[in-house]
């Protein structure tokens, strides 16, 4: 209890520093500022800093930019062209999308990013240097995440393997192989969604549980959320069948798991972490049959609130999953791929092919 009070006090202090009001009730939401992103190939990833004062934006052209949370101004940029020549990468284009970014939980000046070219990159804010720290040949990376203690990070991508790294040495300490053999491919085509170890098709999301440092969730095109204990050699028997994940569409909080699927209907679902059973399917109002829901990313927030973005409505949705009602909808004109939040969802950012927006919850 004392630790929780200390954490709350730290968060409150940081919020005051950047001029954010810590409201208790979420009744609506509004944008604070936005930026056009057409000239940089759109936005594919977003991540708030641990100090809450900056948000990192990953673009389609391989660049990363940092923006101030308080005024929306660009603070710094890190372009792929600034990377030093790397012999085994010289034939690759470095100007490919940054698909996922995470700040190191302990070394909070270090921002990690994964790119479609298979590189894992690091921004060091102290030295202002962008570097490549690891490379996965013949893979297109789509997601990464850190364990809560910062000792490990995991990556997933096109080859459907799950790799777990030692974050101090940046080397792979465990690799869960995909399951691409003919008999299993036939099973999935016949709607048998069970598998014993890895994924069949491209994996798009990996998420360490925020309260269990060794528990990792992964998902992708094969319509199953897999659960891993990184101390073990094989997948755990528990899994969720059904969600079709095409972005960073997994989140976990306490005993709740959120999946945001790229499906026409029933895209947002809450599951019980203890049993893997479905708790609730959320309503997305006015997602008609022509355009559908088709969510790419979602997050669980305070006050039983879910944030979600996608290509069906091309909007950021704020939904109270206790009442199953939409609190707010913030529309853009084109698909939205990226989402992140801080302060329990009180401030959030979203972006896609046309804009990057920073917004906040309101209590009126």
Q: What is the CATH number of the domain that holds 334?
A: 2.130.10.10
Give pLDDT tens digits for 160-177.
999 999 999 999 998 888
> Quick one: which H or E segment has residue 2?
helix 2-17
Give pLDDT tens digits for 101-122.
999 999 999 999 999 999 999 9
Assess whether pLDDT exceeds 60 at residue 6: no
In angstroms, how far is the first alpha carbon of the chain from the final one? 31
Domain membership flag for residue 154:
no
Give the chain's length: 364
Assess whether pLDDT exceeds 90 at residue 236: no
Q: Which of 117, 121, 83 is nearest to 104 (CA)?
A: 121
Other C-beta atoms closer than 10 Å to the C-beta of 323 total 10
pLDDT bin (cut points 50, 70, 90) of residue 80 is confident
Domain membership flag for residue 102:
no
Domain count across the chain: 1
- The label of the residue with tokens 């085994």 reads 88
Domain membership flag for residue 67:
no
SS3 state at 302: coil
Assess whether pLDDT exceeds 60 at residue 361: yes
Domain membership flag for residue 58:
no
Give pLDDT tens digits for 28-50.
999 999 998 878 889 999 999 98
pTM: 0.90
Question: In the beta sheet, which residues pair with residue 127?
Answer: none
Domain membership flag for residue 97:
no
Average pLDDT over residues 66-87: 85
259 neighbors 269 (Cβ within 8 angstroms): yes
Domain membership flag for residue 294:
yes
pLDDT bin (cut points 50, 70, 90) of residue 289 is low
Domain membership flag for residue 169:
no
CA 225 to chain centre: 15
What is the number of H-type helices and E-type strands within the chain?
Answer: 2, 28
pLDDT of residue 2: 52
Domain membership flag for residue 259:
yes
In the sheet that holds 203-208, the strands lie side by side as 203-208, 215-220, 224-229, 239-241
Domain encompassing residue 273: 1-36+249-364
pLDDT of residue 193: 39
What does the buried/exposed string (b/e) look like for 196-217 if buried means 16 or more CB atoms within 10 Å of the residue's CB?
eebbbbbbbbbbbbeeebbbbb
Average pLDDT over residues 1-27: 68
Query: Alpha-carbon distance 55 to 53, whole Å?
Result: 7
161 neighbors 134 (Cβ within 8 angstroms): no
pLDDT bin (cut points 50, 70, 90) of residue 195 is very low
- The long-range contacts involving 140-143, CB below 8 angstroms and separated by at least 24 positions, are 140/116, 140/202, 141/99, 141/100, 141/114, 141/115, 141/116, 142/99, 142/100, 142/114, 142/116, 142/202, 142/203, 142/204, 142/205, 142/220, 143/99, 143/100, 143/114, 143/203, 143/204, 143/205, 143/206, 143/248
SS3 state at 256: strand
Query: Alpha-carbon distance 324 to 327, whole Å?
Result: 9
pLDDT bin (cut points 50, 70, 90) of residue 93 is low
Tell me the CA distances in angstroms from 34 to 19, 306, 356, one per residue in order. Answer: 18, 21, 5
């Amino acid at each position: 209890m004392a630790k929780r009070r200390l954490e709350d006090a730290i968060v409150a202090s940081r919020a005051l520093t950047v001029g954010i009001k810590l409201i208790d009730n979420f009744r609506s939401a509004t944008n604070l500022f936005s930026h056009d992103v057409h000239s940089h190939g759109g936005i594919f990833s977003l991540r708030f800093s641990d100090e809450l004062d900056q948000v990192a934006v990953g673009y389609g052209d391989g660049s990363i930019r940092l923006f101030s949370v308080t005024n929306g101004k660009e603070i710094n940029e890190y372009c792929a062209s600034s990377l030093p020549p790397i012999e085994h990468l010289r034939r690759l284009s470095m100007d490919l999308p940054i698909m996922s970014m995470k700040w190191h939980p302990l070394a909070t000046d270090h921002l990690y990013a994964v790119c479609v070219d298979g590189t894992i990159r690091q921004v060091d804010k102290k030295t202002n240097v962008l570097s490549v720290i690891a490379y996965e040949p013949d893979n297109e990376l789509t997601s990464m995440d850190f364990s809560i203690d910062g000792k490990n990070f995991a990556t997933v991508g096109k080859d459907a393997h799950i790799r777990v790294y030692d974050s101090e040495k940046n080397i792979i300490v465990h690799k869960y192989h995909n399951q691409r053999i003919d008999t299993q491919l036939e099973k999935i085509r016949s709607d048998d969604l069970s598998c014993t170890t890895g994924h069949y098709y491209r994996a798009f999301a990996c998420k360490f549980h925020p309260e269990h440092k060794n528990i990792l969730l992964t998902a992708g095109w094969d319509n199953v959320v897999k659960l891993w204990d990184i101390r073990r050699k094989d997948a755990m028997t528990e899994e969720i069948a059904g969600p079709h994940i095409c972005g960073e569409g997994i989140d976990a909080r306490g005993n709740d798991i959120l999946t945001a699927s790229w499906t026409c209907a029933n895209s947002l679902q809450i599951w019980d972490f203890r049993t893997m059973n479905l708790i609730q399917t959320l309503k997305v109002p006015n997602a008609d049959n022509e355009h559908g829901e088709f969510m790419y990313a979602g997050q669980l927030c305070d006050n039983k609130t879910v944030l979600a973005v996608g290509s069906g409505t091309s909007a950021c949705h704020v939904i109270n999953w206790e009442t199953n009602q939409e609190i707010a909808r913030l529309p853009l004109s084109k698909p939205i791929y990226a989402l992140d939040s801080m302060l329990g969802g009180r401030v959030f950012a979203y972006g896609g092919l046309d804009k990057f927006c920073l917004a906040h919850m309101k209590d009126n």
